[in-house]
Structure 1
Amino acid sequence: MATPQNCLPPNVPVTCLLLIGYTPTRMACRLLELYQVLTWPMLCLQIVPFKTAGRDRSMGRQLQQRQNATAFEQCTKSATMTQSVPLDETIEELTHIWQDLLGMEFIAPDQNYFDLGGDSPLAVQLFARIESRFQVKLPLATLFEAPTIVELAQILRREMAPSGWSSIVPIQPKGLRPRFFCVHPHGGNVLIYRDLSRHLGADQPFYGLQSRGLDGSCPPLSRIEDMAALYVKDMQSVQPHGPYFLGGFCMGGTVAYEMAQQLLAAGEEIALLAFVDTLNWGGSSLPSLWEKSLHTSERLRFHISNFLSLDTTAKKEFFREKVKALRTRIPVWRTMLLGKLFKNSGLGTSETRVLGQIWKSNFQACLDYFPQPYPGVVTDIRPAKQFRSYKKPELKWDQLARSGQVVVVLPVNPAGMLVEPFVKHLAIALQKSIDGAMQNLENKSASKLAQTSNALNDRGKEVPVDLGLH
């Protein structure tokens, strides 16, 4: 909608429009705008009856004209405001909710809730509808800060992820089995879990949790606790309550561990907490240049060992998978290296810079995280062999898992657990772990049911009382 000064007066003939440079398309747009402006007052006008006598009729006509002018000015102002505000989905949905609750056919985005007759009891219904539609819970006091649709929409956008972004990625959302939520490794992406999800089958719902900041709209989180809090919030938009099945590869296991802690503190139940080659790096220092070199040489040796253990067809598949992975990682590594050599150089694409920042931030977050003892059971899925620097006792989780640790060793070396054709071993182990957790839940439910039944039976039994009457 054009601003008032650009609106055409109703008495401008079409020929004049053409003479002053209006093309037919532009003229049609202006006429449509004019029609909208002229029809909006009809929503606001109330017909004022006046007498048929000459003077009374004249006075009534003047009064009506003044009322029409006032109504036109008010409605034009609201219409102008409506057109100047982007009518996105949030504003449209809020408008529908307000219209339904307040019983009004037209509400401008800048009209005040209280001026429209809204009160506290109605606000309870309003915010219940907002929570149901947008999955965002706002306090009733928000109406004092944002009493109009426009302002309330701004609050909702701040509460919701930027541009609709969410850490939840439904890799395979279908199936009747319990949902498995798998947290990203250091790189922040969850594409690495695609083959694992495929091997788990079409009946196993599989959701990935990706790093914040992958879209470049905001910096990555720097603390494991903050990542876990965000991922729990996003996860509960899919599954509000437990029991939860959680896990993650490498760093992802560490974040899943903290998620489990926060969920337990909130009274939720954790059915499975599965680590995939995850170590406790809390309190460790950054590796030296010599340690990095040794790690790289070991990694190369493990790759060669994995490659030689395969037949000809599988070797081709493994090689193809590794080349595909290197194509995505080399640009990130190059950007990170150039960033260290040339500070603020801006080298590398924006995407590789973002991925490099996320990798670095996630790695440092693992070093800064000090996990607390976990009251449940931890399932630790490990490769057959391990890097030398990873064999330190303090990097294990057995001292933190108060209810025990289930260790599963796969017939594969590191750096191959999520790559074809070795990923099938991980899928089998994870599926068995999920099955075992489901069985434990059934046993626990059956035990509770039996205890309840026994308690009810005990209450119903007649207890003989000896009154001493012999």
Structure 2
Amino acid sequence: MNALQLIIEVNHQLGSSLSLGQLFENSSISQLATLLEQTVSPMASSLVMFNYGLPDNKPTLLMIHPAGGNILCYHPLVREMGADYPAYGLQVANFGQDAPHNHDIKSLAEFYLTQSGNLIQRTRLVLGGWSLGATIAFEMAQQLVQKTGVAPTVLVLDQPAPQVNIDNSVQMNKDERLVRFVRKVELFLGTSLNISCSVLTEMSEAQRSELFLAEFKRVHLVPDNISNREFQYFLVILRAHIHATDQYQGKIYPGKILVVEAEETLPGRTKLGEPGLGWQPLSYDRLKIINAMGNHVSMIQEPYITHIANQLREVLP
């Protein structure tokens, strides 16, 4: 397990909000135990701190998980942005149970705003996400405007606007949607998973969950000590988030929307005639668009993520 996976697992199991920096600064067992005693909360939190950074000098990045509920995908971006930038992530804290907010983007956004605590009060807040995470971030920003009158910057990492279909996914059945998710995970990890439509069709829901967990463990995407019980609602929550995103309408946003759009198109996706992935009608202002080298998956990894980070440092408020 790498350092980021370790800190995410510690925070998940203990309800703490430790950062990678704190892990490195308190590397002995006794130091880490003392720190956990000071920071642990009674319930698992969705909020994970990547970098404390310099909140008085730099904008704070709050990144919301994509489909699958994991925020490991943001590690390259956070690293490239540099230690000065405060950076946090919101992930699914518990796959051992489902919750009503998982089935509606507005409810999910409201829940994650609560989980974000005082971060939402920061004047230079950037709410962002890759893929499905951008849709959740957009609705969180809408609700923040309603609550506070302040419109944070929304950072969209290659996600089409609500109700803009670029891959015919809404016509897919549930097994095809799952396999499509699996293919994206494979591209991200650079390895294959033994999951296909033909295999899933013959399985019960419990068997599917066990298969996903076994494959995720095999490629070290999740810790080995996660049990079937702790993982049993992963597929339920995954499908709920995807369905909620399909149903979400969205409305015009009064703040800044920054769209990072991949130059290459993954197989099965359609390139729209205008840049911006359909977000312009939802913005009062002109979109700021960053063209990212690579495709939907490779753009958030090395070496392409360096270009994105360089551009973000120039344009973020």
Tell me what 2:305 maps to.
423
Gaps of 5+ in 1: 1-160, 304-320, 438-470
More helix by share: 1
Any conservation in 2 of the 1:248–1:256 contact (CA below 8 Å)? Answer: yes
Any conservation in 2 of the 1:283–1:369 contact (CA below 8 Å)? Answer: no
Structure showing greater relative contact order (alpha-carbon pairs closer than 8 Å, 6 or more residues apart): 2
Any conservation in 2 of the 1:273–1:378 contact (CA below 8 Å)? Answer: yes
Any conservation in 1 of the 2:51–2:88 contact (CA below 8 Å)? Answer: yes
Q: 1:383 to 1:425 in 2, by over 3 A?
A: same
Distance 2:292 2:143 in 1: 30
Distance 1:234 1:268 in 2: 20
Distance 1:380 1:193 in 2: 16
Identity, in percent, stands at: 24
Q: CA RMSD in A?
A: 3.1
Which AA in structure 1 matches 2:282? L
Is 2:38 aligned against 1:168? no
Among candidates 104, 122, 135, match of residue 254 of structure 1: 135
Q: What is the CA-CA distance between 1:259 and the residue it aligns to?
A: 0.7
Which AA in structure 1 matches 2:269? S
User: Number of residues paired by the alignment?
Assistant: 243
Among candidates 237, 243, 247, match of residue 364 of structure 1: 243
Please give the TM-score of this superposition, normalised by the length of structure 2.
Answer: 0.67
Q: 1:345 to 1:250 in 2, by over 3 A?
A: closer
Any conservation in 2 of the 1:241–1:268 contact (CA below 8 Å)? Answer: no
Is 2:271 aligned against 1:391? yes
Is 2:202 aligned against 1:322? no
Among candidates 62, 74, 85, match of residue 193 of structure 1: 74
SS at match of 1:213: coil
Distance 1:254 1:199 in 2: 23
Q: What is the CA-CA distance between 1:381 and the residue it aligns to?
A: 0.6
Q: What is the CA-CA distance between 1:385 and the residue it aligns to?
A: 2.2
Q: What does 1:1-16 align with in structure 2 at a 5 Å threshold? A: none
Q: What is the CA-CA distance between 1:213 and the residue it aligns to?
A: 3.3
Please give the TM-score of this superposition, normalised by the length of structure 1.
Answer: 0.46
Distance 2:172 2:240 in 1: 18
Q: What is the CA-CA distance between 1:391 and the residue it aligns to?
A: 2.7
Tell me what 1:213 maps to.
94
Any conservation in 2 of the 1:184–1:190 contact (CA below 8 Å)? Answer: yes
Further displaced range: 365-374 or 418-427: 418-427
Tell me what 2:38 maps to.
none
Among candidates 107, 110, 125, match of residue 244 of structure 1: 125
SS at match of 1:171: strand
Distance 1:345 1:178 in 2: 43
Further displaced range: 188-197 or 174-183: 174-183
Which AA in structure 2 matches 1:404? R
Distance 2:241 2:93 in 1: 11
Answer with 1 or 2: which has the greater Rg: 1
SS at match of 1:270: coil
Distance 1:346 1:248 in 2: 31
Which AA in structure 2 matches 1:402? Y
* Cα displacement string for residues 409-460 of structure 1 (whole angstroms, at most 9, x for unaligned residues): 02223320122222212221222232xx2xxxxxxxxxxxxxxxxxxxxxxx
Among candidates 281, 284, 296, match of residue 414 of structure 1: 296
Q: What does 1:234-313 align with in structure 2 at a 5 Å threshold? A: 234-282=115-163, 286-288=170-172
Tell me what 1:343 maps to.
204
Any conservation in 1 of the 2:46–2:92 contact (CA below 8 Å)? Answer: yes
Q: 1:345 to 1:248 in 2, by over 3 A?
A: closer
Q: 1:420 to 1:389 in 2, by over 3 A?
A: closer
Q: What is the CA-CA distance between 1:353 and the residue it aligns to?
A: 4.3
Q: What is the CA-CA distance between 1:223 and the residue it aligns to?
A: 0.9
